[in-house]
Amino acid sequence: MEENKRLVKVPTMAQMAANGEEPEILFWVGCAGAFDDRYKRVTRAFVQILEHVEVKYAVLGTEESCTGDPAKRAGNEFLFQMQALTNIEVLNAYNVKKIVTACPHCFNTIKNEYPDLGGNYEVIHHSTFLQQLINEGKVHVQGGEAFKGKRITYHDSCYLGRANDIYEAPREVLAALDADLVEMKRSRANGLCCGAGGAQMWKEPEPGRKDINIERTEEALATLGTGNSVIATACPFCMVMMSDGVKNKEQEENVKVFDIAELIAQAEGLSK
Amino acid sequence: MAIGLENIIFLLVAALGIGLFVWQISRIRKNVLMGRDLVLADNPSERLNKVLLVAFGQQKMFKRMIPAVLHLFVYIGFLVINIEVIEILIDGIFGTHRILGFAGVLYSGLMAINEILALLVIVACAIFLWRRNVKKVPRLAYGVEMRAWPELDANIILVTEIVLMLALFAFNISDLKLAQLQGHQVAGSFPVSHFFVNALGSDPETLHVIGRVGWWFHILGILAFMNYLPSSKHFHIIMAFPNVYFSKLLPKGKFTTNPAITHEIKAMLDPAYQPPAPETDADGNPILQRFGAKDVEDLTWKQLMDSYTCTECGRCTAVCPANITGKLLSPRKIVMDTRDRMEEKGEHPAIFAPNHYKELGIDRVPVTEENTLLRGYVTPEELWACTTCNACVEACPVNIDQLSTIMDLRRFLVLEESAAPAALNAMFSNIENNGAPWAFSPSDRFNWAEDLYVPSKN
Residue A102 lies in a domain: yes
Q: How far is CA A166 from CA A128, A188, B251, B452, in A?
A: 8, 9, 11, 30
Distance between first and last Cα of chain B: 99
- CB-CB under 8 Å, A193 with B391: yes
Q: Testing the interface with A: which of B62, B432, B453 to mutate, by most A Cβ within 10 A?
A: B453
Q: What share of chain B in percent tops pLDDT 90?
A: 69
Among the partner residues A34, A47, A76, nearest to B428 by beta-carbon distance: A76
One domain, residues A15 and A117: yes
Q: Tell me, what's the pLDDT at A3?
A: 60
A97 touches chain B (CB under 8 A): no
One domain, residues A160 and A123? no
Check CB contact under 8 Å for A192 and B324. yes
More reliable by pLDDT, A269 or B214: A269
Average pLDDT over residues A233-239: 98
Over residues B363-403, the pLDDT tens digits come to 899 999 999 999 999 999 999 999 999 999 999 999 999 99
Question: Chain B closest CA to A228's CA: distance in Å?
Answer: 27
State the pLDDT at residue B2.
56
- Boundary (domain end) residue, out of A131, A153, A179: A131
- Mean pLDDT along residues B248-269: 94
Task: Report whether pLDDT(A99) > 90.
Answer: yes
The partner residue sitting opposite B440, judged by closest CB among A35, A198, A205, is A35
pLDDT, average across residues B301-308: 98
What is the pLDDT averaged over residues B330-338?
Answer: 98
B419 plus B383 within the same structural domain: yes
Residue B92 has pLDDT above 90, yes or no: no
Chain A CA closest to residue B381: A206
Please indicate, yes or no, whether residues B209 and B93 belong to a single structural domain of this protein. yes
Q: Which of residues 15-44 of A touch B (CB under 8 A)?
A: 29, 31, 33-36, 40, 43-44
Backbone angles phi, psi at A27, to 5 degrees: -90, 110
A32 and A76 co-located in one domain: yes
Q: Which of B258, B319, B387 sits opposite A198 (nearest CB)?
A: B387
Q: For residue A272, list chain B residues with Cβ-Cβ distance below 8 A.
A: 455
Q: Do A107 and A169 fall into the same domain?
A: no
Whether residue B278 lies inside any domain: the answer is: no
Same domain? For B297 and B184 the reply is no
Closest chain B residue to A38 measured between Cα atoms?
A: B448
Q: Chain A 226-265, CB below 8 Å of chain B: which residues?
A: none
Cβ <8 Å between B420 and A76: yes
Please say whether the beta carbons of A88 and A49 come within 8 A.
no
Both B228 and B301 in one domain: the answer is no
- My answer on whether B345 and B398 are in the same domain is yes
Same domain, B221 and B266: no
Which pLDDT score is estimated for B283? 85
Residues B192 and B294 grouped into a single domain: no
Q: What percent of chain B has pLDDT over 70?
A: 99
Whether residue B175 is contained in a domain is answered as yes
Residues of A within 8 A of B291 (CB-CB) are 77-78
- Whether residue B251 is contained in a domain is answered as no
Selected for mutation to probe chain A from B425, B445, B456 (highest A CB count within 10 Å) is B445
- Closest to A87 in 3D by CA, of A102, A71, A109, A65: A65
The answer to whether residues A202 and A232 belong to one domain is: yes
Domain assignment present for residue B180? The answer is: yes
| Cα–Cα dist B277/B96, whole Å | 65
CATH number where B398 lies = 1.10.1060
For residue A137, being part of any structural domain is answered with no
Examine the domain organization and report whether A164 and A260 are in the same domain. yes
Which of B59, B60, B248, B255 is most worth mutating to test chain A (most A CB atoms within 10 A of its CB)? Answer: B255
Neighbours of B93 (CB within 10 A): 15
Closest residue on chain B to A39 (Cα): B448
Full DSSP string of A170-196: HHHHHHTTT-EEE--SS-GGGPPP-S-
Residues B348/B27, Cβ–Cβ less than 8 Å = yes
* CATH number of A99's domain: 3.40.50.1860
Nearest to A47, CA basis, from B217, B449, B393, B111: B449
Q: Tell me whether residues A62 and B446 touch, CB distance under 8 A.
A: yes
Q: Is B144 part of any domain? A: yes
Host domain of residue A260: 142-267
Rounded distance between C-alpha atoms, residue A258 and residue A189, angstroms: 21
- Nearest chain B Cα distance for residue A210, angstroms: 5
pLDDT tens, position by position, B7-65? 888 889 999 999 999 999 999 999 999 999 999 999 999 999 999 999 999 999 999 99
pLDDT in tens, B434-445: 999 999 999 999
Cross-chain Cβ contact B257/A193 below 8 Å = no
Same domain as B345, residue B217: no
Q: Are residues A6 and A66 in the same domain?
A: yes
Last residue of a domain, one of A131, A166, A195: A131
Q: Look at residue A234 and tell me whether its pLDDT is greater than 60.
A: yes
The residue among A78, A109, A131 that closes a domain is: A131
B236 with B266, same domain? no
Poorest-pLDDT segment among A257-261, B359-363, B420-424: B359-363
* A146 and A93 belong to one structural domain: no
Q: Which amino acid is at B269?
A: L
The CATH number of whichever domain residue A170 belongs to comes to 3.40.50
Look at chain B and report how many structural domains it folds into.
2
Q: For residue B450, is it within any domain?
A: no
Sheet holding A25-28, edge to edge: A57-58, A25-28, A98-101, A122-125
Q: What is the mean pLDDT of residues A95-105?
A: 98
pLDDT higher than threshold 80 for residue A1: no
**Residue A272 domain-assigned (yes or no):** no
Is B325's CB within 8 Å of A208's CB?
Answer: yes
**B191 CB-near residues (< 8 Å, 6+ apart):** B112, B115, B116
| Out of A44, A165, A202, closest to residue B437 by CB | A202
Q: Are residues A16 and A106 in the same domain?
A: yes
- In sequence order, the β-bridge partners of residue B455 are A5
Q: What pLDDT is stored for residue A165 in this prediction?
A: 98
In a domain, A171, yes or no: yes
Average pLDDT over residues A258-272: 93
B407 lies in which domain range?
259-271+288-434
How many domains does chain A divide into?
A: 2
Check whether residue A175 and residue A121 sit in a common domain: no
Alpha helices in chain A (DSSP H): 13-18, 31-35, 37-52, 69-73, 77-93, 104-108, 126-135, 168-175, 212-224, 236-248, 260-267
Binning pLDDT at 50, 70 and 90, where does residue B201 land? confident
Q: What's residue B458's pLDDT? A: 62
Residues of B whose CB is below 8 A from A261: none
Q: Enter the pTM of the model.
A: 0.95
Within 61-90 of A, beta carbons closer than 8 Å to B belong to 61-62, 64-66, 68, 70-79, 81-83, 85
Instruction: Please indicate, yes or no, whether residues A150 and A245 belong to a single structural domain of this protein.
Output: yes
Tell whether B451 is covered by a domain: no
Q: Which chain A residue's Cα is nearest to B389? A: A158
Residues A118 and A26 in one domain: yes
Shared domain for B42 and B150, answered yes or no, is yes
Q: pLDDT tens for residues A168-220?
A: 999 999 999 999 999 999 999 999 999 999 999 999 999 999 999 999 999 99
Confidence bin at B1 (pLDDT 50/70/90): very low
Residues B241 and B265 in one domain: no
Q: Is the pLDDT of residue A152 over 60?
A: yes
Give the ipTM of the model, two decimals please: 0.96
User: Are B219 and B328 in a shared domain?
Assistant: no
Region A153-171: mean pLDDT is 98
What does the pLDDT read at residue A59? Answer: 98
